[in-house]
Structure formats: C-alpha cells, structure tokens
Amino acid sequence: MDVFLFQTTLYLGAIVLLVPIASRLGLGSVLGYLLIGILFGPVLGLTGSEMDSLRHFAEIGVVMMLFLIGLELEPRVLWAMRDKLIGLGGLQVLITLALITIAAIAFGQEWRAGLAMGMIFALSSTAIVLQTLSEKKLMNTPGGRSAFSVLLMQDIAVIPMLAVMPFLAIDGAGHGNVVGDHGPVSLIAELPAWGVTLVTLGAVMGTVLAGHYLVRPLFRFVQAARLRELNTAMALVIVGGIASVMLMVGLSPALGTFLAGVVLANSEFRHELESSIEPFKGLLLGLFFITVGAGMDFSFVREAPVMVPVYVTGLVLIKVAVLYMLALLFRLDRDNRWLFTLGLAQAGEFGFVLSAFAASQSILPQNVANLANLVIALSMLITPALFIMHQVMVRLRQRPDGERPDHDHIEERHPVIIAGMGRFGQTVNRIVTMMGCATTVVDHDLRVVQRMRRLGFKTYFGDPTRPELLASAGIETAEVLVVCLGDPVASAKLVAHARRVRPDLFIIARARDRVNAYELLRAGADDVVRELFDSALRTGRSVIERSGLTPVEAENATRTFFEFDRAALRDLSRVWKPGVPLEDNAEHMAMHKALGEELASALAEAPLREAFPRRHGDSTPIAAILAEEPEIQHSRNAQGQ
C-alpha cells in the first residue's frame, strides 16, 4: 500500500510538472503522459511490480471515457451526421482494418492475431487530433469536420471491437473486460451456452432499461439533499455498478457504460454527470497512458533498429492511402483533403486499450502486444510533424495575386444561403444563426474565409455568382438567398441568375444606393436593404426623440416613413431608366414628388403631427421635415442614403 501510494503520488506530481510542458510544445496531453511513463519506466527504471495494480486501477479511466463518449452521442446528432459517420467513418475503419489484417498475416501472424492488429491500428488518436484541430482553429473547416466524423465513428467502433475480441480468444481464453481479469463473482460460470446468451442479453437490456427508468428518479432523490458530493458519488456508482454487472456476465464493462451513456444522453442530468466524472476520467486516463509508456519494450528498437521504423512508416502509409482515397471519394478540396489525410494517419489511444485486451485474452502474444504499443506510441509522436507537413503544403500551394484555388465543395444543405461574409454579411449571419436557423455562407475572398474559419464561423470559399457554386450551396432546396456582396454588378448578376433558377425563391439583397436598389429589384429581388438607409433612419429617430417626441411617437413616425419608402422604392424602380440620371428622368421625378406628398399627408394625419413644432416653437410641420428626400443622385458615384 505504501509503495502504491508513493508511486501514484510520484506520477501525479510528474503530470502536474511535465504535461503542461508537453502541451506548450504542441505534443498534446496524451503524448505528455506517454513520455512520463517512458521516463519512469524504460529510461529511469523506477517502476516495479506495483505497475500491474496501478494499470488495473487506471483502466477505470477508459471505462469512464466511453461513458462520457456515450453521453455526447445524442440520437439527433448521430442522425444528422449519418452520411459521414456510416460512409466516411465506416469505410475508413473497414478498409484500414482489412488492409492491416492482410499485412499482418503476410508478416507471419495467425489470422486471429492479424484481425486483432487490424482493429488496433484502424483507429486514430481522438485526443491528439481534436486537440490539435481546436488549437489551430481548423475544426470548422470541411477537413476538420470530416476528421471529427471519422473519429466519432472510430470511438463507436471500439464497442463492437471489444465485444468481438473474446470470440477470437485462443482455446476459449475467457470473456473480456478492459482490465483483462474476471471479477470475483460470475453469473455465467456454470451455465450452458444458451444460458450465457440469455444472461448476457438480459444484462444489456437491463442496463438500457435502468438507464432510462431507474437513474432519473435516483438522481432526483439524491439532488433533493442539495449536496454536490452526493451527485459525484451517484455518478461513480452508475459507472462502477454497470461495469461490475458487465464483468459478472463476461462482457466488457466499456460496452455497458457506453450504452448507459447513450441512454442518458437526453437526460436532464447529462451535464451533471459529465462535470462529476470528467476530473476522475482525465486523471485516471492519464495514469493509464503513463502505465502504457512505462511498460513499453524498447528492446525491439535495439534488436531490430530498421524494422520498427519500417512498421511505423508502413502503418502511416497504409492509413494515408486509405484516407486520401476516401477524401477524393467524398470530394474534399485539396487543402482539406490533406488536412483530413495527414491528421488521421497515426494510430490512437484506444489501440493501447485493445492491445492490452487482446494480450489478456491470449489473442496476441505479449511480445507482439508490446511491439504494437511501441508502434502506436511512435506514430502518435509524429502527429505534430504531420500537421506541420500539412501547413507547409498549404503555404507551398498559395498562388500569386490574381490566382485562387478551386472553390470549396459544399456538403451541407441549409434553408438560408448567405452570399458575402463582410461586415454586412457577418451581422446578418449572426442574427439568423442565433435564432436557430442554419445557414450556408459563401465568400469569394479567401482571406475573409480563412479569418472567419479561425474565428469559428463555418464559411465556404468561392464566387457565389458562379452557377456551379450556387448549385453546390443548395440553391435548388434553399428557402432564402441573402445577397450581401459589396459589388453592385456582382449582386445584380447573382440575383438575376438565382431568380432564373428558382422563381419561387425569396431573395433579399444589399444595395449600395438607390440606383443599385432599382437594379436589384428589376433583376428579381423580393426585398432590398440600402447600406445607409436604416442607419440614417435610426439617426433621425434619435434626433426627433431628443427634440421632444416620446419614444412611441418617434417609433411611429420612423415606422411610417420606412414602410412608405419601402413601397415607394418598388414603384419608382418601374419608371427608372438605366443610364439616365434620376434628375433627368421626368417620369421618375414626377412620381417621386407625388409620393413625397403622399408621405407628408400620411404623417400629417398621425397624432404626433403637432408635437415637434409645439414643443420647439417651429412653424415647420414635422411631416414636411420627415418627407424631405435628399437621395436624388447626380451620378452613380455620389454618396446615397
């Protein structure tokens, strides 16, 4: 006990000191834990027989991690991601598993061991990749989202892998658990095969039903005490209890806790469970990786200094080939293709779990499992270099001014398409998305797209006036097109094309000035918003409020002005003549004057008509002040609104 406590304290102290350094160097926390284990084990030789006990204790962290993964997998989220999860993620796991299995058999492994190695190496590092994508602000790129889908599918695939592995055990070497040892109590030891099946299915169904019907009332009962430590205890009881039941029926405890997590994903206590378990999971998982690092056998490097790098290189090349092929199949653009490919080319932390599990089941000889752990760790260590390689490739591909890469392939179909992500488009997008409406945003400026992605806004690169890009953005199924481009000619071109393609589409467009508004209405826009009109209207409202009107009176006046002007703009657009200055267009000027008089009459009939002059002694009626229209322009270059 004293030795165990001392070792645990030593490892925790090393975590506090060394993991922040590893994270600062860009290696990530998982590699930091592995390096601590390597330092204490193979390098300094400070580990002993207590390592087995510490490993069994730390493997609870793996069980907790799978429980938390289950909590994150809400059914609606999984359904929304079904195409990439099943297609991209499923194909990656199956193809990589098959190729590595074939390679392992070709190198002399028995087929069961080869299949186990295929499972071990088919996975990538969720912890390292997601952390790196987040740090580099790449999560919202098409490549980042595709990588996340594959990683999520891999995390889900771990569950059936753990369930299948016991059936690969040589000479019936027992049923599986993450730890590799049966619990002291077994519910299936003396049962026939059909009895084992019934008890196993009953345990799984019982876990699902308990998660749905039993956990919620228990949590409500515990929360009534208003003691936070009881919530933590309840969370640990759920994880520990389910893991114990799974051990009793010979199943992986990870399977049970994962299922319980999925069942509780829609529970009102989900966030409470996450916050209670997360600290334990993080520390125990860190200890698990330390024990993996401490148990690494570097004698393979001394005995075969060429073969170990060959194994690592071969693994990376196989995964690169599979991932690149899938990136082409799912039409990722070149930069995102390489981000997706290089980012997932390593093995993952779940490989350590599967390797330990396979060794405990006698599927893999211990020396082969040790070699697999070494290959996994070395492939993870080169992950930062793979991301650096991607950055170098992107820089080398940057073209001179005037040249741009191909537009992005847009994978989503949302009801609102926003063309242009400048200041105007950003504000529109924020309002719309905050109200819960999904948008597809496109901009032709690559620098704007990259900046928005770094800020966390999903933005696609491409010229929205191009018909093929508009089709890729989902113009056939969209409900609204918002044209936020700063170029009046491009805006009119986009509106005209969208109206031809979709006569029923609602189109709202940004107009630089009154003339541009006429152009857009003629092109087919349903509504136009002049750049300076709304801000000028708000300024006028502030002035008349300050001059004596109440807020309600000012609001009524500006609303009347806005609604009348909006209708008048459409009427005036019908008599507008392109290329003819507005003041030289007699029909336009006559209609403009008549509409101004109508507006003055409308405002004169409002209850607020005498408020302004009465309070300030001015004989000019407020209707006349508000009806004055200074927006008659002498040229297209004049400042409007």
| pLDDT over 70 at 50, yes or no | no
Q: Which of the four pLDDT bands, split at 50, 70 and 90, describes residue 408?
A: low
Nearest residue to 354 via CA among 127, 177, 153, 200: 177
Instruction: Please list, in sequence order, all residues whose beta carbon lies within 8 angstroms of the beta carbon of residue 531, skipping any fewer than 6 positions away.
Output: 424, 510, 511, 512, 513, 640, 641
What confidence tens digit (pLDDT) does each residue in 479-498 have?
999 999 988 888 998 999 99
| pLDDT over 90 at 224, yes or no | no
* Residue showing tokens 């502030």: 542
Distance between first and last Cα of the chain? 80
What residues form DSSP beta bridges with 482? 418, 508
d(CA 224, CA 366): 50
Q: At what angle do helices 90-106 and 307-329 cross, to 10 degrees?
A: 150
Q: Average of pLDDT values for 68-73?
A: 74
| pLDDT over 80 at 140, yes or no | no
Q: Three-state secondary structure along 94-139?
A: HHHHHHHHHHHHHCCCCHHHHHHHHHHHCCCCHHHHHHHHHHCCCC
pLDDT of residue 118: 94
Q: Which of the four pLDDT bands, split at 50, 70 and 90, describes residue 619?
A: very low
What confidence tens digit (pLDDT) does each residue in 363-396 have?
888 888 888 988 998 898 888 888 888 888 877 7
Task: Report the 10 Å Cβ neighbour count for 288.
Answer: 27
Considering only residues 407 and 433, tell me which one the structure prediction assigns the higher pLDDT.
Answer: 433
Q: Average of pLDDT values for 506-524?
A: 89
| pLDDT over 50 at 174, yes or no | no
Q: Which residues of 264-286 are buried (b: 16+ CB within 10 A; e: fewer)?
A: bbebebeebbbebbeebbebbbb
User: Which DSSP string do the residues of 129-192 spell out, in sequence order?
Assistant: HHHHHHHTT-TTSHHHHHHHHHHHHHHHHHHHHHHHGGGG-TT------SSSS--S--SSTT--
Q: Which amino acid is it at 602?
A: A
Q: Which of the four pLDDT bands, split at 50, 70 and 90, describes residue 38?
A: confident
Q: Average of pLDDT values for 566-590?
A: 80
pLDDT of residue 114: 93
What residues form DSSP beta bridges with 530? 511
- pTM beyond 0.75: the answer is no
What confidence tens digit (pLDDT) does each residue in 439-484 have?
999 988 888 888 888 887 888 888 888 888 888 888 888 999 999 9
CA-CA distances (angstroms) from residue 479 to 14, 315, 410, 415, 439?
56, 46, 17, 5, 11
Query: Which range is most confident: 118-122, 208-212, 550-554, 625-629?
Result: 118-122
pLDDT of residue 61: 76
Nearest residue to 301 via CA among 369, 354, 364, 378: 378
For residue 293, what are its two tokens?
């690092």
Nearest residue to 565 via CA among 617, 539, 602: 602
pLDDT of residue 142: 79
Q: Which of the four pLDDT bands, split at 50, 70 and 90, describes residue 344?
A: very high
pLDDT of residue 610: 43
pLDDT of residue 103: 93
pLDDT of residue 315: 94
d(CA 67, CA 162): 14
Average pLDDT, the chain: 79
d(CA 561, CA 603): 8
pLDDT of residue 255: 67
- Per the CB < 8 A criterion, the answer to whether 377 and 128 are in contact is no
pLDDT of residue 534: 80
Q: Average of pLDDT values for 311-315?
A: 93
pLDDT of residue 220: 81
| pLDDT over 60 at 629, yes or no | no
Nearest residue to 32 via CA among 389, 381, 388, 387: 381
- Per the CB < 8 A criterion, the answer to whether 347 and 315 are in contact is yes
| pLDDT over 60 at 602, yes or no | yes
d(CA 488, CA 138): 32
pLDDT of residue 71: 78
What confidence tens digit (pLDDT) does each residue in 259-283 have?
778 777 777 777 777 778 878 777 7
Query: Which range is most confident: 153-167, 198-212, 223-237, 420-434?
Result: 420-434
pLDDT of residue 613: 42
pLDDT of residue 184: 55
Task: Report the 10 Å Cβ neighbour count for 553.
Answer: 19
| pLDDT over 90 at 397, yes or no | no
d(CA 171, CA 362): 9
pLDDT of residue 171: 53
Instruction: Please list, in sequence order, all residues whose beta carbon lies within 8 angstroms of the beta carbon of residue 382, skipping any fewer than 6 positions away.
Output: 312, 316, 346
pLDDT of residue 155: 79
d(CA 506, CA 480): 5
Q: Which residues of 333-365 are buried (b: 16+ CB within 10 A; e: fewer)?
A: bebbbbbbbbbbbbbbbbbbbbbbbbbbbbbbe
Q: Which of the four pLDDT bands, split at 50, 70 and 90, describes residue 185?
A: low
pLDDT of residue 4: 65
Instruction: Please list, in sequence order, all residues whose beta carbon lies within 8 angstroms of the beta carbon of residue 370, skipping any fewer than 6 positions away.
Output: 295, 296, 297, 300
Q: Which of the four pLDDT bands, split at 50, 70 and 90, describes residue 124?
A: very high
pLDDT of residue 340: 92
| pLDDT over 70 at 131, yes or no | no
| pLDDT over 70 at 181, yes or no | no
Considering only residues 347 and 624, tell me which one the structure prediction assigns the higher pLDDT.
Answer: 347
pLDDT of residue 606: 56
d(CA 154, CA 96): 11
Task: Report the 10 Å Cβ neighbour count for 494.
Answer: 26
- Per the CB < 8 A criterion, the answer to whether 497 and 520 are in contact is no
Q: Which of the four pLDDT bands, split at 50, 70 and 90, describes residue 615?
A: very low
d(CA 576, CA 582): 8
Percent of residues, the chain, with pLDDT higher than 90: 15
pLDDT of residue 406: 55
| pLDDT over 80 at 296, yes or no | no
d(CA 301, CA 298): 5
| C-alpha 142, offset from chain centre | 10
| pLDDT over 70 at 416, yes or no | yes
What confidence tens digit (pLDDT) does each residue in 544-560 have?
888 888 888 888 888 88
pLDDT of residue 581: 79
Q: Three-state secondary structure along 38-104?
A: HHHHHHCCCCCCHHHHHHHHHCHHHHHHHHHHHHHCCHHHHHHCHHHHHHHHHHHHHHHHHHHHHHH
Q: Average of pLDDT values for 580-609?
A: 73
